A and B are shown apart, each in its own frame.
Chain A
């Protein structure tokens, strides 16, 4: 995992002041900003200072915008430390009585501190019905992103759907059709592949990045021109665990606008006027504002090559994912699943040219490193590694042990 986050010069104070609240009790302590340590150490520290060693905790903090955000892994922990200015306000809840709805991505639209007040004023039991919990995903991770904005024509959109660990179906259909292209001989009608239907509640629909009648141009870097519908179907299914499709959206009004290289952050942030896609449009800008780093990370086709690892079970042994033979990195031990948390994260972020949406992510409490890696600008470089770990998680349940 890449941990070299940027420390803002304006906040170069070596110590971070921490104010931690659990129930009605407060604790104050400080941490070294430059050496924050790991999340599990921090978690242990919190249990220690509050003298609640056996209580499962849900850790939240108030970010600069006043949103309540979770801390549950190294990445968001580091993020919280690095952005604390100067006080880091923590809110601890018992896991079994945690109020998941307090977390949110769209809190910018609400009044500041409403979330906080919701936590601070303990909600009583006969409070009005909480908002609908959308799903119970088990992992907190990106589910889709627009990539390669800087190299594609503005009329095209390259969308990455992360299927892994997701209960949601990919959920779309494709069909044959004809598209009109401009060629040297003038307009020409050519056969093409189009999205014909979205399954309500499917991953494709929930991203808002794909729509009916979008023309599919590429699947994982391979052009679909000249291929039959069945071939394209098979290609998509074969790549379904990490599907990257380049489409020409039927609705060209919501295209990503590239400003002429002014602010680095706005270089690739999607700006959307479509109501369906608005929430990430805004939040991405907000997130981008806090991250001035700009690392162009175009999607390389062969990056995908490393990402599907099979699972092998030796007789009498435990399941382990098959590693590539020459690989030398160590395997993390199989983490256990913890009860899911359900929250909408506010840390939707733009990592340089990648616009990632963490829809309905949750927090694994054990230290699976890098689940929320994309809070860091350099996240994409480590994605194969991450993908593998995730796989080891989800495979656990499906294989019948010998």
Chain B
């Protein structure tokens, strides 16, 4: 009987687990890593980006996002939307074509791959014959023209990818009609460009690499006109009225050609090398767009003078007398222009440029062409991300103040709304306001709105102003000097060059109730900041804290402390620093926490930890955790770096030596020496393969290096000395498996400013297994984690149970252990490493709600292991609940970057510029839910297909209404 009953309970728990936990990767934030192709559909108002890893991402209005991944691990080289349809075609590096569609499903659209196709040439033909170099999606929406390396144009019917062999335009057909004096001398080379006549869809221009352009009539299947350009062709543009063709060339020139009916040997009408005189780089793409009144816009990328500005990434925009060379900080992938009007044929309104590291949108209708702030695809890595911190459920007041501070920073952005507006965002409004704070290498902290699908930048804080740095603050300002040619203008925010790596932010802690923020950096600096709505000029006093406390035999070989500006500094509205602690030795800060109610900040480095009273601006406690035998920590990080450097140098030397010796012998007896070298290389290779990967099995000893490194700091109001009086306490955990507890005595509130805060050592726990302590949590009498400071005061959390006995949960990399308090004795534990060999990398406390019954919820520990798995561990019984694979084991930086929210979600970096968002909760799920409807096309395509689309549209609407009713 008993067994049966227990079984029943088990299954009940299993059911509950299903209601509480589920794992989903929901959305990718940030900018795609290594974008390789850009596409745009004016009719859908959707933007598509293909990446080198084979992903395809679609973006419309903020919140409208789709993502697809090609099965092939090949780069996407081209993306083309089928005009007036919801399909798009991608061309991959491996010469395969893929058809994607946005299909309605339960009222939402989803991106689906519906077909794939690879051109097959005649038997025996070289692969270059079918290697696709140019793609034209015909406005009929039913044809795809594929230009190849061999110079042929294949015509394929879509969406079925049926080859229309009889309509193919072979190189021979074209060559036959080309004047002999052109064709006789040289090969036409590959098809570089295909363009359709905007006023006559039956005419296409085929541009060959050698320069020849041929206007081809698809109906009559014959060449109408030849344009004999003599320079290597880069791109072709057919003006909107159909009367001119622009061609851009590899020598930095562009030409304009009249499209005439009869005259076969039309002269080029106008040729220009815009940045000429000296040799120029190629103009890779050129666009000309008319305006209602006045001169057209001419836009082209590249064309810079090779010698002086060959390294710039520029797009030139010329409109009547205005001529600007937009200077980007990374390579240009592609660009397009958005046009006004219902049919998207009006004046150009915005230029959208995809560069390697960001997406820049420029407002072409406002004077000076300001940049429009992007609501998504924001480069997270404008400076490399060094840490992140998530704060859930921000009070409205703080939220508004942060936004207000951010708006003052964004005055240089255009006021125009975001011009890409395709699709409808059907996701419900986020239930709460969440902030994600990212710390960067250049000393800035970015505040992101992480409530919804779009990770939107709110505010940017720079800490560099507090310190003297080598860089001249006006470094980036002295541009656009009068009369400079080309007329450069810097655009974009991607700036990977940090002035001083010591400025890098390592730890962040924000108190959402009080608006106090503390950030700590690479050179042992800890800043305490306060939110101020007004600009203020103030001096930040530095307090140097010696963490060594007289420890002997120490020599710090790392970087020096940052120089603090002694004169008052003007801080803009927003978070303004008012206190600064500098650790000595200036090692990187490894743990940081803030208690805004007690007005204390605790910080730790590899040498020890300290407690700072930011009201009285003095240090309360300094504790050195160094182990005298810990040589590595003593000397600083350099010694390790040196050894890597040394080994690198050695290996390079070895390579060079072998090359030199190779060359030396080469003169005498080439064949023999080559053989010898090969044999040696093979032997070396064999040796490398034979030497297996070995792992040493050794018990941890107390003199392992970095045992003193402080991994975690925690404030708690709990029972430290006796079970009847709770006191404030500070807890610190080290890399050597040691936990220090200090009892804090705070003066009464009325004397808080003048009486000192004191800290007394209360307990020290040495974990037997000596694994690094990565987390400390105190659980109240109900087994629930203690609330954050001020949380209870703001009525946002139940006050903790102070009657029952508190428990201490120590999370090491290997075990979860619960101890009783105030007398510390082991109560429960969960061994992680001893059982499955994984180690805790990241841990957080989260609240999980049941998806079925609203009033049930429980706290749990969310754990990320070095295997990349996420676990949920129950509290207070430390039992493993669920386990999901999340990050690849090899992705060390992804695992290191992971941050958990208080509601069971998490973020980790999938590339330097992208956060993946995941959720372990059934209730808190932020994922894109959006609908894209097929445009009602009134153009020249067949009536039947339009009717079909109307039907589909109606069906979609029905479905969405139905689902709404049901909800």
Which A residues have a C-beta under 8 Å from some C-beta of B? Answer: 163, 169-177, 196-197, 204, 220, 222, 227-241, 243, 308-315, 322-325, 391, 395, 398-399, 402
Contact = CB atoms under 8 A, between A and B. Distances in A.
Contacts of A398: 702, 766
Given A196-B692, A222-B836, A235-B836, A174 B697 contact: yes
Contacts of A312: 763-766, 824-825
B270 interface: no
- Scoring B697, B702, B767, B819 by chain A CB atoms within 10 A of each residue's CB, the highest score goes to B697
B839 interface: yes
Contact of B693 (A169, A175, A220, A310): A175
Nearest to A313: B764
B692 A309 contact: no
B699 A324 contact: no
A170 B834 CA distance: 17
B471 interface: no
A176 B693 contact: yes
Nearest to A316: B761
A230 B867 CA distance: 9
A310 B695 contact: no
22 contacts: A173-B694, A173-B695, A174-B694, A175-B694, A196-B692, A222-B836, A227-B837, A229-B693, A231-B837, A235-B833, A237-B698, A238-B834, A238-B837, A241-B699, A309-B768, A310-B767, A314-B824, A315-B761, A322-B765, A325-B820, A395-B766, A402-B764
A235 B766 contact: no
Contacts of A197: 694
B823 to A, nearest CB: 8
Interface string B808-824: 00000010010110001
A235 B692 CA distance: 20
A122 B658 CA distance: 67
A222 B824 CA distance: 30
B826 interface: yes
Q: Size class of B's contact patch?
A: 35 or more
Contact of B763 (A177, A309, A315): A315
Contacts of A169: 698-699
Interface of B: 692-700, 702, 743, 760-769, 771, 814, 817, 819-820, 824-827, 831, 833-839, 866-867, 889
A398 to B, nearest CB: 5
B812 to A, nearest CB: 10
A169 B696 CA distance: 11
A232 to B, nearest CB: 6
A247 B911 CA distance: 41
Contacts of A229: 693, 695
A205 to B, nearest CB: 12
Contact of B826 (A234, A241, A313, A322): A322
Contacts of B768: 241, 308-311, 391
Contact of B769 (A172, A228, A235, A308): A308
Given A313-B765, A322-B824, 15 more contacts: A163-B699, A170-B697, A175-B692, A231-B867, A233-B697, A233-B837, A234-B866, A236-B697, A308-B769, A310-B767, A310-B817, A310-B826, A314-B763, A324-B827, A398-B766
B163 to A, nearest CB: 45
A313 B762 CA distance: 8
Contacts of B696: 172-173, 233
B697 A222 contact: no
A220 B697 CA distance: 14
Contacts of B700: 237, 240
A120 B654 CA distance: 66
A186 to B, nearest CB: 27
Contacts of B762: 314-315
A310 B766 contact: yes
A173 B699 CA distance: 12
Contacts of A163: 699
A240 B696 CA distance: 12
A354 to B, nearest CB: 22
Contact of B698 (A170, A222, A232): A170
Contacts of B839: 234
Contacts of A173: 694-697
A114 B172 CA distance: 107
A233 B833 CA distance: 10
Closest 5 CB pairs of A and B: A231-B837, A240-B699, A238-B833, A233-B695, A308-B768
Contacts of A236: 697
A224 to B, nearest CB: 8
A292 to B, nearest CB: 37
A196 B692 CA distance: 9
A313 B763 contact: yes
B763 A228 contact: no
A309 B827 CA distance: 11
Contacts of B819: 322
Given A196-B692, A311-B766, A323-B825, A227 B836 contact: yes
Contacts of A239: 834
Q: Which of A220, A243, A391, A402 has the most CB of B within 10 A?
A: A402
A243 B760 CA distance: 39
Contacts of A220: 834
B696 to A, nearest CB: 5
Contacts of B767: 310
A172 B825 contact: no
Contacts of A243: 697
B838 A325 contact: no
B694 A235 contact: no
Contacts of A171: 697-698
B523 to A, nearest CB: 28
B583 to A, nearest CB: 21
Contacts of A310: 765-768, 817, 826
Nearest to A323: B825
Nearest to A317: B763
Interface centre among A163, A172, A177, A230 (most CB of B within 10 A): A230
B731 to A, nearest CB: 13
Contacts of A230: 695, 837, 866
A238 B699 CA distance: 8
B821 to A, nearest CB: 11
A238 B827 CA distance: 20
Given A174-B694, A240-B700, A395-B766, A228 B826 contact: no
Contacts of B769: 238, 241, 308
Contacts of A175: 692-695
A308 B770 CA distance: 11
In this complex, the member of B766, B827, B866 whose beta carbon has the largest number of chain A beta carbons within 10 angstroms is B766
Contacts of B837: 227-228, 230-235, 238
B831 A311 contact: no
Contacts of B764: 312-313, 399, 402
A309 B697 contact: no
A234 B838 contact: yes
Considering residues A234, A240, A243, A323, which has the most beta carbons from chain B within 10 angstroms of its beta carbon? Answer: A234
B835 A222 contact: yes
Contacts of B699: 163, 169-170, 237, 240-241
A20 to B, nearest CB: 42
B885 to A, nearest CB: 13
A173 B697 CA distance: 6
A235 B826 contact: no
Contacts of B889: 228
A173 B691 CA distance: 13
A392 B717 CA distance: 31
Nearest to A193: B695
Nearest to B828: A325
B770 to A, nearest CB: 9
Nearest to B764: A313
A309 B695 contact: no
Contacts of A391: 768
B838 to A, nearest CB: 6
A240 B833 CA distance: 11
A231 to B, nearest CB: 3
Nearest to B834: A238
